[in-house]
Chain A
């Protein structure tokens, strides 16, 4: 039987998504539904001295106004931990409306519940606040002189300082040295669906329809904040309208919706406005990277120093982990990575697609491109000369790599040989080529991940786990995984997800979803298959009775003797004979504990062809080529789509996206999709995605390394390198805008 895993099958949810039948979290109809709208603080620092809720309460249809004066206190504030851990994972260790203090602009200061959306929206603007304002600090230039290197970041998992060898001595001794500093604008994820929660209580039980990357993360976080037993909270999340990190951590609105529903005794729908998406679920922080590279004349790296400076919130030490992959990507004996943080009046920054590598690799790969120029080397040749055959940090072998093949295939597809001749003029346009390496950690969960698989007596099957579908195509891929293990046609298998009543999982974040969910589904499906084979060989009525279970395989949707394929029966025949309506197995996949034997990372390569108008400075990406080695691919169609999306995200990061801080007001100045520019159809060029096959027996049972982030890792550097090739201008800030090239 041909492998089902990997087949480019169309998405199983194509029909609901194209007919409007798919219900997202703000689409759930409930009897007596009310609508909640939040109001945000006008100031970024200071305190509220007076609240007047009367005008809002007097407005037609208003049921409740909650502020710090009457919102119940939270039971406990869990620490900020990545939702990959599977437990409570708030985005910041601050909960709004607990006191009068304002820590950042837009901080939720009121929640209005009304009988229609329009009435709630109107009344939210009627709640009057008087503030005592203090000076706000919001941007890098204001924190430069008061920064600290934190002991650790990322819930304690990443050190603030790391090194190997003596980087300063190596830089002093280097035959060639390049020093460069980069500035990256703050960014916001802006999924098309604004974060939304529909909440209702039945007796003491809380039901939440929540837009989240992990229903269990919502359950555990809200339970901890409210002091409600975890067992009394059910979270349902069947369709999520994109996340890109905005819904990776659990932010305040989910808990506020539950509080509001309890307060008014009716179901409450709380959907953030687009403007509130800029001050309610974190952001990718503004950052400054300083990179120093030392090399010998042959281009072999001898020193790599990478320092990052960024603002964090008043309450948490957070920077996206921009340095870890750069420390591992190239063979280099001397390394130092340092994070410096300064407190600012912003939310705690958070995950945004390709968290860390999208920024860190822009700085590192841009500096490598410059080093190649100084050495007179082809940038691709420079990467090959520094290829890390083993992990330079741990000196362990890679679980799988494939990077050289990615370079080769990508170079061939874009026609990299054309680069040597220099930029090409095309009318007013100067056309250049650039490339960069792509790398992203192949991380995994730290605790058991569970799934259940059930076969019915009609031969259909369902696999279940509490994953949420936010565009990854998890339902299609997991149906393929279960079908392959059970030996059933994929049309007979459905994946049911998005509900904490199903076997529980950590959140699908950091490209871990496909690997860990497939591991659990595969384990459960294999267990069920083995269970049914054991039942058949023990059943005197079965043609397989008495056979050695090890000699029974699957063929044509039946259990058969491996050496006599005409002897066997289907699951349906076995179950019907036993008067058994179904059979099921639940299994977990526990990631290996202890010191890992291998270093695990996903690799790839980006190539960009870019045209720059020589007079106007306009930049147009003409073509993007990405070659990636993400291990086992569960569905080639959906995987390529996700990789393509990541690459276009990299283009947005390179040329369009910036959240502009008005430092006088301490507020984001462009909180709309009209002013925060994201790629539109006309921006998107031809994108070629090439999958390079590598077998990985280490990362997880099916060898899946994930595709969500790697598409964006390094894209911006490849585009900036192509701009440099076209124009000779080395732009060291993102996004690259017209003013940089005039």
Chain B
């Protein structure tokens, strides 16, 4: 699992920008929409999404970076929402599971998860999906063994793991086919 580096604001010659510890206005661009939130700098990206933006797809399973249920993307890179401060995401594109589908058309990964019965209770699924799509984009889904290893940061207590691997392999090929069509 990669983590996003803190955002550097301004230039080296500017005086350091002090904000907080009380609530400050943070502009958070999520799934293409900018939300202006009054939050304390200690608020995690996960809390900001859930409590501030009412985007509750990202789940709090542990709040300590062990379960992966809060996985979202910052600038396309997967991060753990519970270990990322929302204020560090200002000026960056955040993508959550709510932003994965294209309107009513599901992302191939979402469709393949449904086809393969790659979830039961569904609680870890948003995080699994965000990791899975990123994994394919990173070229780390070449075979089942590689997927197994790279998906092990996302716990599924229902243990749908074999089906998750099936779904990712199928979606990987769908995504490649889609990219080829797009290029053509």
Contact = CB atoms under 8 A, between A and B. Distances in A.
Interface of A: 10-11, 13-24, 26-27, 29, 60, 116-119, 190-194, 239-242, 244, 271, 273-274, 469-473, 637-638, 641-642, 644-645, 648-649, 652, 672-674, 678-687
A538 B62 CA distance: 61
Given A20-B98, A641-B160, A15 B106 contact: yes
A274 B61 contact: yes
A14 B96 CA distance: 17
A199 B64 CA distance: 26
Interface residues of B, number: 59
A242 B114 CA distance: 18
Most B C-beta atoms less than 10 A away, residue of A11, A20, A23, A649: A20
Contacts of B161: 648, 679-681, 683-684
Contacts of A678: 155, 157
A21 B51 contact: no
* Of listed A192, A273, A473, residue having the most chain B CB within 10 A: A192
Contact of A17 (B47, B51, B125, B165): B125
A673 B47 contact: no
B179 interface: no
A674 B66 CA distance: 6
Contacts of B67: 192, 274, 673
B77 interface: no
B103 to A, nearest CB: 11
B148 interface: yes
Given A17-B119, A274-B64, A644 B162 contact: yes
Given A24-B123, A192-B69, A684 B42 contact: no
A24 B62 CA distance: 16
A648 B47 contact: no
Nearest to A648: B159
A674 B152 CA distance: 12
A672 B66 contact: yes
B28 interface: no
Given A60-B22, A241-B121, 4 more contacts: A15-B106, A117-B51, A191-B123, A684-B161
Most buried by B among A240, A473, A682: A682
A741 to B, nearest CB: 23
Contacts of B156: 192, 681
Interface string B98-134: 1011000010001001110101111111100100000
Nearest to B40: A118
A20 B57 contact: yes
A19 B120 contact: no
Given A23-B56, A242-B158, A637-B117, A672 B164 contact: no
Nearest to B67: A673
A686 B152 CA distance: 16
Main SS class of interface, B: loop
Nearest 10 pairs of A and B residues by beta carbon: A20-B57, A241-B123, A17-B122, A471-B121, A471-B120, A14-B114, A648-B159, A684-B161, A27-B56, A20-B97
A597 B54 CA distance: 54
B56 A193 contact: no
Nearest to A196: B60
Contact of A193 (B97, B119, B121, B162): B121
Contacts of A644: 159-160, 162-163
B63 interface: yes
Given A10-B114, A18-B113, A116-B51, A649 B159 contact: yes
B179 to A, nearest CB: 21
Given A11-B114, A11-B117, A242-B123, A18 B56 contact: no
Given A13-B122, A242-B158, A19 B59 contact: no
A22 B122 contact: yes
B56 A645 contact: no
A511 to B, nearest CB: 15
Contacts of A193: 59, 61, 121, 123
Given A116-B51, A193-B59, A645 B119 contact: no
A673 B97 contact: no
A19 B97 contact: yes
Contact of A19 (B106, B123, B149): B106
Contacts of B113: 14, 18
B104 to A, nearest CB: 9
A18 B157 contact: no
Given A21-B57, A678-B157, A681-B161, A191 B121 contact: yes
A20 B106 contact: no
Contacts, number: 180
B61 A192 contact: yes
A194 B157 CA distance: 12
Contacts of B110: 15, 18-19
Interface of B: 22, 40, 42-43, 47, 50-51, 54-64, 66-67, 69, 96-98, 100-101, 106, 110, 113-115, 117, 119-126, 129, 147-149, 151-165
A244 B157 contact: yes
A33 B62 CA distance: 22
Give the most central of A18, A27, A116, A117: most B CB within 10 Å.
Answer: A18
Nearest to B124: A192
Given A18-B106, A240-B121, A194 B61 contact: yes
A401 to B, nearest CB: 27
Contacts of B122: 13, 16-18, 22, 239, 241, 471
Nearest to B165: A681
Contacts of B119: 17-18
A15 B57 CA distance: 12
A672 B62 contact: yes
A57 to B, nearest CB: 18
A458 B55 CA distance: 35
B64 A672 contact: yes
A274 B59 CA distance: 13
A23 B58 CA distance: 11
A359 B33 CA distance: 51
Contacts of B158: 242, 471, 641, 645
A383 B118 CA distance: 35
Contacts of B148: 681-682, 684
Given A20-B58, A118-B40, A274-B63, A681 B120 contact: no
B67 to A, nearest CB: 5
Contacts of A687: 162
25 contacts: A13-B122, A16-B122, A17-B125, A18-B122, A20-B98, A22-B122, A23-B56, A116-B40, A116-B43, A118-B43, A118-B47, A193-B61, A241-B61, A241-B122, A271-B60, A471-B122, A471-B158, A641-B117, A672-B64, A673-B64, A674-B64, A681-B151, A681-B152, A681-B161, A684-B159
Contact of A20 (B60, B126, B149): B126
A37 to B, nearest CB: 11
A686 B162 contact: yes
A17 B158 CA distance: 14
Contacts of A473: 120
A100 to B, nearest CB: 30
Given A20-B98, A470-B121, A471-B122, A194 B66 contact: no
A242 B157 contact: yes
Contacts of B163: 641, 644
Contacts of A21: 57, 98
